[in-house]
Each structure stands twice: as structure tokens, then as C-alpha cells.
Amino acid sequence: MEDCTFVIFGATGNLSRIKLVPALYHLDAAGRLTDGMKVVGFGRRDWNDDAWRAQVRSWLAERQTDPEVLDRFLARFHFCQGDLDDEQAYGRLHDMLSGGDGFSPNIVFYMAVSPAAFGKVSRQLGEVSLARESGGWRRLVIEKPFGYDLESAESLNHSLNRDFDESQIFRIDHYLGKGTVQNVLVFRFANLMLEPLWNRNYIDHVQITHSESLGVEGRAGYYDGAGALRDMIQSHLLQVLTLVAMEPPANMDAESLRDEKVKVLRSIRPIPQSAVNAHAIRAQYTAGTIGGEKVPGYLDEPGVPGNSVTETYAALKLFIDNWRWRNVPFFLRTGKRMAKGNSMVAIRFKHPPQQLFRETRIERLEPNWILMNLQPNECIRMEMQVKQNGLEMRTETTRLDASYCGINPAQLDAYEALLLDVIEGDHSLFLRYDEVSWAWKVVDPILKVWSVEREYITGYSAGSWGPPEADRLFLRQDQYWRNTLDDSGEGRR
Ligand SMILES: NC(=O)c1ccc[n+]([C@@H]2O[C@H](COP(=O)([O-])OP(=O)(O)OC[C@H]3O[C@@H](n4cnc5c(N)ncnc54)[C@H](OP(=O)(O)O)[C@@H]3O)[C@@H](O)[C@H]2O)c1
């Protein structure tokens, strides 16, 4: 691996504290950083290298660290003092990096700052020639959200492209860094027995759910302007959908993979504004109880305007108009303050074509399901029907767990894998602009309708599984939500 210099804009912020610095530390402890790798924090506080190192040390004090690794790690840290709005500061950064202090000319610029600053920072880097790949590579990592809607994403991309090529830009979606999400691809493409079944002939529908038991957790300022559809569905859940639905790529290189994902997004049937209410549900949590504790409603959270109609829950029905998936509904659903925090892909198969057991004691034959749980526990499970013990002809559901189904104690944080990919220049798990843009095209009509319908939003109690209205997305009465691995959905039928 080549040496590199890792510059963090917004070094003193939350993302830097909870994700970037710990991930870099773990990479160092695992021996994955070269000796010449240095980290430059860019921030407006009146700090020097020592103050910045003391800050990093205090952040890591909450974690288990090895004193020897920690000393080596801290020695990598340098501070460049400057305000993002001050053009001179970028000149100082340039001088620091090209001075004689042994900074590698391979540079990662990580934007851990407000999305409003992405364009400005990239422009200034261009102005001082830090974007130009002379003597080493330059990479720009962009945090989500990438734009606010299709138009703003276009304009942000346009402004980044003034100074950085697409090949230099890494749009991060930390969901894709999770091993379990990548497992969707392995499960599909390393197991021949699934492929013949993976289509409209055998699959009844697909559900992709990300539920959180947490509320807005002090991030109301950001969240109230975004909402569940932007925050989770446009980005993470549509990405999971592409992995479930894509065709096998020509090979596993980044462009082949991303080409196939884009094809899925392009095939999603557009939702006309007149059909938004038939395809999308939004709701907001009201006060309730989670894990025995009373929690306030969204409107009573600190920082949320009393008249907000921002959705904390969104559910969507999408169709992919291609040969494999035509008329198979994909239900995408996310919510805050739901009964449990969990992420799962649930694939329901059709009933066998002949009801052979009609004349027996079997009252209702359950369909097969494949459940891929993404978090908190990693699990792939198949649900099959078997005969119950005894003289009567009755069936029961048995579960075949295809991988470890407990909480994985040594889970790698997604950021560790993704930061390493940036340093190694692997784009596979980062979003190409056309993916982002097609994903915005999918949700844009819904955002437009919701932005004008501002009088009323349905409520759901905190601690529930969302509003009952979400059931109206289903095509038939025998369809129902699967919430977690251990919840068969029985209670809601
Ligand atoms: N936090 C998360 O869990 C999370 C998750 C996903 C994505 N993101 C994305 O990551 C980015 C950063 O989020 P965050 O939560 O870390 O935000 P944050 O805690 O508000 O941090 C913002 C950082 O920007 C710095 N900053 C602001 N204005 C500046 C200026 N004029 N000059 C120099 N520095 C300035 C702040 O410095 P001061 O400390 O001096 O104010 C701080 O270091 C955002 O794009 C966000 O959407 C965050």
C-alpha cells in the first residue's frame, strides 16, 4: 500500500470523533496503515498539533487501546488551523502539505463538514492546485447527504466536477461498508441453487426494512430538514434494493458492479405525482413507550418546530420493470422510534402452484421466506414447511439458518473497510454519480408532493411498528410485514 496524507475537514466534529478517528486507530492497530501515513485535521479552533493530539487521545480514552499503538497513532496527527470560509487558509494547507515535513503527495480530502460546505471546499482546493494530481493522487470523500433533491444533487456534482474528476470522488454510503450488506451479493452469486428462483416466477414480493428504536438524538436540526425518505430510503435502502435485484455483473470490478446497480435504478417504474399516495406512506411518531420507558413524540423533541410535518417513518412500494422483476413489489420501509432497531431484507416466495394438501388438516400453507438480517445481528435464514410430528397431516415452519445468527461480537465498523478502500483506490462500495442521480429520480415525485401537502401527517406511537395505514401498500390481504427475524408477522395478520 502507498503512503498517504489523510486530511479531515471538520476534524473537531461528531463524525470525526465517533467514526473517522476510531476507524483509523483500528486500521493502525491492525497494521493496515503505512509508516508514512499522516492525518491532518483542518479546523477553525486555535489549536496546534499538540492540542489536536490531546483531543484525539481523549476521544480514544473511552475505548480499549494499546499504549504503544496509541503513541504511534498520535504521532501521525497534525493540525492546520483555518476557517472554511477563509481563502487564505487553503493556501496555508497547501504550503503545509508541500513543505518539507514528509507529507505524502497522495492525499485524501475527507469532507466531515456540513453538506453546504462541500462545493466551497472543493473549489478552494482547486484554486490552490491541491485537486490536481501532480506527483501523487488526490481523492475527495463526500459524506451523505449528496444533495437535497435531484436538482441540488446535479448542482453539487457540477460544482465538484469543476475541480475533481469522477474517478477522484468517493461518495460514501456507510451502509455499503457493512459486511452483511456485501453478503447479499455473495449469497446470491456464490450459490447456484438460488439463481433459478430469483425472479418474478417464484418471488411474491421483497421487503427491505430499516427500523430504529432511537429518536432524533440531538440531530433535530439536520433531521427535520431531511426526513426519513431522504435520510434512509433515497440512499441506503435503495442501495440494498439494487444488490437484491441486480443482474450478475461481468466481474467484481467497481465499474461492472456499479453499471448493474444503475440498471436496476433506471428500471424502477416512475411514480407519477398523481400516484404518490398509492405508493408511499409517511408518518411521524407520537409519544409512546420503548423498552418500558416513556418517550416523547417527535414534536416534543428539542429543536423540532411545533408545526413540523417531517416524516420520521416512510414506506414505499416500487416495481422494477425488467424481465426478472416485472410486477413483483419491493416494499421499502424505515422509521425512528419503532419497537426495535433492526435491518432486514425479507423475500417471500409464492405458493406452490397446486394445493396438494387441501383435503388434509393443513389449514393454511405458509409460504417460504428468505430472511437476510443486516443488523444488529447478521443472519441468513430460510423458512421451509415440514410435517409436524404426530398422526395428523399438519405442517409447521422450520428455519434453516445459513450463517451465524447471533450478535457478532467483533463486528468491524463499516468506516474501517471504507477508509481502507479510499486509501487503496477501490470505488466498488462508493456511489457513482449516476447512481445518486437515479436514486433521486425515484423519490423526487414523492418529495414534491409531500412538500406541498403540509397540513397533516399521520401519527404512530413510539414503540410500535409504524402506522397501520402502511398495510394499504400491499397488493393482497395475505401480505404482511416481517419486522424482525423472530417475529413471524402472525400478530399483524
Ligand atoms: N455525525 C454522524 O453520525 C454523521 C453520519 C452520517 C453523515 N454525516 C455527515 O458528516 C458531515 C459532518 O457531520 P457531523 O455530525 O460531524 O457535524 P458536526 O458535528 O456539526 O461537525 C461539523 C464540523 O465542521 C466544522 N466547521 C463548521 N464550520 C466551519 C468553518 N466555518 N470553518 C472550519 N470548520 C468548520 C466544525 O468545527 P467546530 O468544531 O469548530 O464547530 C466541526 O468540526 C455532515 O455532512 C453530515 O451530514 C454525519
Segment 331-389, tens digit of pLDDT: 999 999 999 999 999 999 999 887 777 766 666 788 999 999 998 888 899 999 998 88
Residue intervals in the chain for CATH 3.30.360.10:
176-412+432-492
Closest CA to 312 of 449, 462, 443: 462
Q: Is 398 in the pocket of ligand 1 (CB under 6 A)?
A: no
Q: What is the number of alpha carbons within 13 Å of residue 194 lying toward its C-beta? A: 20
Q: Do residues 37 and 76 touch, judged by C-beta distance below 8 A?
A: yes
Three-point CA angle 286, 312, 491, nearest 5°: 70
- Which ligand 1 atom sits closest to the C-alpha of 19? 3
- Which ligand 1 atom sits closest to the C-alpha of 11? 43
Q: How far is the CA of 232 from the CAs of 50, 123, 226, 265, 336, in angstroms?
A: 38, 28, 10, 16, 10
| First-to-last C-alpha distance (Å) of the chain | 54
Look at domain 5-143 and name its CATH class.
alpha beta
Assess whether pLDDT exceeds 70 at residue 44: yes
Q: Is 44 in the pocket of ligand 1 (CB under 6 A)?
A: yes
Segment 72-117, tens digit of pLDDT: 999 999 999 999 999 999 999 999 999 878 999 999 999 999 999 9
Segment 115-158, tens digit of pLDDT: 999 999 999 999 999 999 988 999 999 999 999 999 999 999 99
From the number of C-beta atoms within 10 Å of its C-beta (0-12, 13-18, 19+), residue 433 rates as: middle
Active site residue 279: no
- Which residue out of 26, 78, 174, 236 is catalytically annotated? 236
Q: In sequence order, what are the residues at sequence separation of 6 or more whose Cβ sits closer than 8 angstroms to the Cβ of residue 123?
A: 159, 162, 163
Q: Is 144 in the pocket of ligand 1 (CB under 6 A)?
A: yes
Q: How far does the centroid of ligand 1 lie from the alpha carbon of residue 114, in Å?
A: 5
8, 15, 79, 212: which to mutate for ligand 1, most atoms within 8 A of CB? 15
Q: How far does the centroid of ligand 1 lie from the alpha carbon of residue 113, in Å?
A: 4
Q: What is the pLDDT of residue 411?
A: 62
Q: Is 221 in the pocket of ligand 1 (CB under 6 A)?
A: no
Q: What is the pLDDT of residue 21?
A: 98
* Neighbour tally for 403: CB within 10 Å: 15
Q: Is 89 in the pocket of ligand 1 (CB under 6 A)?
A: no
Across residues 277-300, what is the average pLDDT?
Answer: 96
176-412+432-492 carries CATH number 3.90.25.10: no
Q: How far does the centroid of ligand 1 lie from the alpha carbon of residue 19, in Å?
A: 12
> Whole-prediction pTM value?
0.95
Residue intervals in the chain for CATH 3.40.50.720:
5-143
Q: How far does the centroid of ligand 1 lie from the alpha carbon of residue 485, in Å?
A: 35
Q: Is 486 in the pocket of ligand 1 (CB under 6 A)?
A: no
